[in-house]
Amino acid sequence: MSDILQTLQKRILVLDGAMGTMLQRYNFSEEDFRGERFKDYPSSLKGNNDLLSLTQPQAIAEIHKLYFEAGADIVETNTFSGTTIAMADYNMEDLVYELNYESAKIAKQVANEFSNANPEKPRFVAGSIGPTNKTASMSPDVNKPEYRAITFDELRVAYKQQVEALVDGGVDVLLVETIFDTLNAKAALFAIEEVKEERQIEIPIMVSGTITDASGRTLSGQTVEAFLASISHIPLLSVGFNCALGAEQLKPYLQRLSRETEFYTSAHPNAGLPNAFGEYDQTAQQMQVLIEDYLQDGLINIIGGCCGTNPEHIKAIADVAKKHKPRETKVYP
The larger pLDDT score, comparing residue 25 to residue 1, is at 25
pLDDT value at position 64?
Answer: 98
CA–CA separation, 54 and 56 (whole Å):
6
| 172-213 confidence digits (pLDDT tens) | 999 999 999 999 999 999 999 999 999 999 999 999 999 988
Does the pLDDT value for residue 333 go beyond 50?
no
In which region does residue 187 sit, left (phi positive, over 0), alpha (psi from -120 to 50) or beta (all else)? alpha
Task: Summarize pLDDT for 142-151 with one digit per residue, the tens.
Answer: 889 888 989 9
| pLDDT level of residue 321 (50, 70, 90 thresholds) | very high
For residues 249 and 274, the answer to whether their CB atoms sit within 8 Å is no
**Cβ–Cβ contacts within 10 Å for residue 330, how many?**
7
Using the predicted structure, report yes or no on whether residue 332 has a pLDDT greater than 80. Answer: no
* Average pLDDT along the chain: 95
Closest by CA position to 104, among listed 171, 12, 57: 171
Q: State the amino acid at position 15 in one-letter form.
A: L
Q: Where are the alpha helices (DSSP H) in the chain?
A: 2-10, 19-26, 30-34, 52-55, 57-70, 84-87, 96-117, 152-169, 182-199, 224-231, 247-260, 284-296, 311-321
Residue 92 has a pLDDT of: 98
DSSP state letter for 177: E
Q: Report CA 198 to chain centroid distance, whole Å.
A: 25
Residue 215 has pLDDT above 90, yes or no: no
pLDDT at 38 over 80: yes
Encode pLDDT of 67-124 as tens digits.
999 999 999 999 999 999 999 999 999 999 999 999 999 999 999 999 999 999 999 9
Contacts of 138 (CB under 8 A, 6+ apart): 148, 181, 219, 220
**Residue 232: what are its φ and ψ, rounded to 5°?**
-80, 0
* Share above pLDDT 90 across residues of the chain, in percent, rounded to a whole number: 90
